[in-house]
Amino acid sequence: MSKKRESSDLDAESRVSGSGESGEAPGAAMETIKTVVYAVLIAFLVRTFAYEPFNIPSGSMKPTLLVGDYLFVSKFSYGYSHYSLPFSPKIFSGRILADEPERGDVAVFKEPRDNKTDYIKRIVGLPGDTIQVVGGILHINGTPVKREKVTDRPDRNSINMPTTVTEYVETLPNGVKHLIWEEGDARQLDNTRAYTVPEGHYFGMGDNRDNSQDSRVIGFIPAENLIGRAEFLFFSHDSSARIWEIWKWPSAIRFGRLGDGID
């Protein structure tokens, strides 16, 4: 009698807990699927509403950002538009929880000519500002922006030819200081017309002033096209090691840039 009841109790326990060969595998598989679904959902929410990773493929923001830098962009800094969503479905217009960029922010946005390509530039012009470059010097509302020479540096230009750049500290009207590079003050984009930034738009420029396709070329940045503000680097490499050259990875990683904030 005791053995029979013990067997019945074990059978009941087996049915409740799902243990045994017939129940364990499906239960474990379901838990794995749930974990994967939750992970994907969390990653989707973080990428859409909090932080999105980007990498730098060109030198237009030197010396602030280098080719091979990987950074996080805060999606909540300026609120959300339909460009904040994966694949940019146009399910609404304008911005939700909108907040304006500050002068000097390094911002990621959809390039206004195609509304698809991700660009990163420094916001130097706000709505209502007049922006002009005269002799290589940025003018905001008719006043030249202060710049102070730091040093001359070797570099390579947009066609990979050796060149020398002059590094300056530029101080924007709100006190934001950042580095810029100039190959000279008589290049193609060193003397421009005066641009008046319309409402709901911004003017962005690359810190590598003579090697940047920015608002001097692509036009004003609509507020709706803003993706977010660049915050900090989480990885950086100098492209000297191919993916299979594992022994070269340590020397290719720019360890000194990891975790750096973006000013």
Residue 4 pLDDT exceeds 50: no
14-18, 150-154, 226-230 — which is least confidently predicted?
Answer: 14-18
Q: If you average pLDDT over residues 202-227, what whole number do you get?
A: 97
Band of pLDDT at residue 201, cut at 50, 70 and 90: very high
Q: Domain spanning 50-257 has what CATH number?
A: 2.10.109.10
Q: Tens of pLDDT along 129-175?
A: 999 999 999 999 999 999 999 999 999 877 788 999 999 999 999 99
- As annotated, the active-site residues are 60, 121
> Domain locations in the chain?
2-47, 50-257
3-state secondary structure the chain: CHHHHHHHHHHHHHHHHCCCHHHHHHHHHHHHHHHHHHHHHHHHHHHHHCEEEEECCCCCCCCCCCCCEEEEEECCCCCECHHHCCCCCCCCCCCECCCCCCCCCEEEEECCCCCCCEEEEEEEECCCCEEEEECCEEEECCEECEEEEEEEEEEECCCCCEEEEEEEEEECCCCCEEEEEECCCCCCCCCCCCEECCCCEEEEECCECCCCCCHHHHCCEEHHHEEEEEEEEEEEECCCCCCCCHHHHHHHECHHHCCCECC
Query: Could you identify the residue written with the tokens 């492209």?
Result: 239
| pTM exceeds cut of 0.85 | no
pLDDT of residue 11: 38
